[in-house]
Structure 1
Amino acid sequence: MKQLSGFLIMMILASCGGENRAIKVKGSDTEVNLAVSLAEAFYKVDDDYSLAISGGGSGLGIASIINGQADIANSSRPLSKSELEMFRQKGIKIRTVVFAEDATAIIVNKDFPLDSMDVATLGKIFDGTYKSWKPVTGQDIPVTLYGRQSNSGTHSFIKKKLDIRFSPEAKEMNGSAQILGSVKSDDTGIGYIGAGYLMQTEDQSAVKALRIYEKAGEPAISPMDENAIQEGRYFLQRPLYQFIPESSWEKVSAFIAFEKGARGRAIIQKSGYYVVND
């Protein structure tokens, strides 16, 4: 396992088996660490399969399905209308699997003076209305925004949930690791990453995940609050998808069954995500 330009890539090579047991999984950086953990455990159960896992963003994973370069597209967002139309035009039938629930963490430097923030303020920060922290913390220092490229599912999710257009001054990072590293070393910075990714990293204590509330007087909720996530009370939570072309379903069905079985569900929970109850 290694980090290359923000893309986490791992190859598991089987001792036997041909092309019909070689599974390529591409897509969401939010899901990539979890996908690697699931693939490692699945390979121990059935080493007839080979699995290649890579990140790069939800859009890249979906494009890889459209171009016939992957068997599973991990995505932290639903398919767009244009993607659905491309699948239709190419005659590609898709199965959709929701295999986990994720919370997106808004992170700031560990020395940031606030522990919580409301949704309206977040919107004004990420759309560039607030260029200084003064209206928020009283400190007249510039806000530095760290985010993802537009092909990122997390980028699309935050944009939609906050109902904003991102500030053109936001720095576009290649993945969660770069956002976390940047906020860790920048006391003016703010960014967003998957809570599951944050809970797995050794750098968790180097940043602060803000508790979020929608309106004054409401409780501020942490993205690490399992009960709140299960009850659907955290503002920035979402399902995690896997899009699978019908032509690959027979090949990948054993892996999908493993994910949804007891061992897979235990890995999902241990990795900081939340199990979807069918």
Structure 2
Amino acid sequence: MRKSAIKAFNLLVILLAFECLLGCKPDNPAIKMKGSDTEVNLAVNLAEKFTQVDQTFNIAISGGGSGLGITSLLNGQADIANSSRPLSPEEVAQFKAKGIALHTVVFAEDATAFIVHKDLPLDEIDVETLGHILNGSIKNWSELIDVNLPINIYGRQSSSGTHSFIKKKLRIEFSNAAKEMTGNAQIIEGIKVDRSGIGYVGAGYVAHAPEDNRHVKILKIREKQAGPAISPIDPHAINARAYYFQRPLYQFVLTKSWGKVKPFIDFEKSMAGRQLIEQHGYYIIDNHEI
């Protein structure tokens, strides 16, 4: 009986050790990525291509805005926050207060496009006039062109990095009448059927599917009334940093998650990743960590 008990005990130890070995092996690293709606389509396609190369990875991605992604990092609900803006001083203080360390990756350059319905007889606009439209000072297209229609503004919710970016660049508060949409797709769909609408979306998003977006028009932007009109989908202008509404795209990564996330970041920097970023209408810069 005693020998049998010892043998049974030894067998149980071996089985438990084998089970632990299997359970502890990181066969399926799970990464949670949340944040910028500007980046979400690109992130999904990067993740799909990456998991084709390394099928052991499981990457869950959702949008909702840069602010949501950053809050998810603070709450331990994400490994990566996609963000179309840098951290605010308040957010930096919050991470410091919680003792949460981050890696910051800048992986692409984006441009924000302003769009109108294809039939609106307007092809370009200057920054000052655009600000007056978005803050509600100019309320009817008849103040600018030969069309008597009240202007409908399609924008993003305040948690959006693009919302914050435009607000800071134009130094305005948005009109209370502006519609707060949840993402690029909703803004585009609104403008498609609203001849009096104007909205802003990621240039990469609208340029990536020109056939789907043929009912909208991308406005050229003049920084000054007498200056040149620049398109957000002109790569030469973007490389020269001549477009007024261009910015870097960020990924904030929890330092404690860096080990499992790094293979994905390395894929983004690879030739395949860079090609995919460019195919989505974004612009390559020297990838680097801050």
Asked if Structure 1 and Structure 2 have the same fold, meaning a TM-score greater than 0.5 normalized by the shorter chain, the answer is yes
| Alignment pair present for 1:159 and 2:159 | no
Residue aligning to 2:270: 261
Partner residue in 2 for 1:79? 87
C-alpha deviation, 1:205, in angstroms: 1.1
Instruction: List per-residue Cα deviations over 1:88-126 (Å, max 9, x = no partner).
Output: 110001110000000000000000101000000000000
How much has 1:204 moved relative to structure 2? 1.9
Deviations for 1:37-88, whole angstroms, at most 9, x for unmatched residues? Answer: 1101101111111111110100000000000000100000010111111101
Q: Which residue does the alignment assign to 2:142?
A: 134
Deviation, 1:139, is 2.3
The gaps in structure 1 that reach 5 residues or longer are 1-16
The higher radius of gyration belongs to 2
Q: Residue 20 of structure 1 contacts residue 251 of structure 1 at CA under 8 Å; is this kept in 2? A: no
Indicate the percent of aligned positions where both proteins have the same amino acid.
59
Q: Following TM superposition, by how much is the alpha carbon of 1:206 offset from its aligned partner in structure 2, in angstroms?
A: 1.0
TM-score by length of 1: 0.92
The runs of 5 or more residues in structure 2 that have no matched partner are 1-24
Equivalent in the alignment of 1:250: 259
**Quick check: 1:49 aligned with 2:57?**
yes
Counterpart position of 1:276: 285
CA shift digits 1:207-266 (9 cap, x unpaired):
000000111332101110001001100011000000011111111000001101111101
- Residue 13 (structure 1) aligns with: none
8 Å contact 2:28–2:58 — kept in the other structure?
A: no
Q: How far has the Cα of 1:32 moved from its partner?
A: 0.3
- Look up the SS of the partner of 1:39 in the other structure: helix
Q: How many correspondences in the alignment?
A: 262
What is the aligned-residue RMSD (CA, Å)? 1.2
Give the structure-2-normalised TM-score.
Answer: 0.88
SS in structure 2 opposite 1:254? Answer: helix
Moved more, 243-252 or 196-205: 196-205
- Whether 2:126 is the aligned partner of 1:118: answer yes
One-letter amino acid of the structure 1 residue matched with residue 29 of structure 2: R
Which of 190, 201, 204 is the equivalent residue of 1:182?
A: 190
**Shift of the alpha carbon at 1:136?**
1.2
Rounded to whole Å, the distance in 1 between the matches of 2:28 and 2:69 is 20
Of 198-207 and 174-183, the range deviating more from structure 2: 198-207
Q: Structure 1 residue runs of 4+, over 4 Å off?
A: 17-20
- In the TM superposition, what is the alpha-carbon distance from 1:18 to its structure 2 partner? 4.6
Alignment match, 1:224: 233
Secondary structure, in 3 states, of the residue corresponding to 1:63?
helix
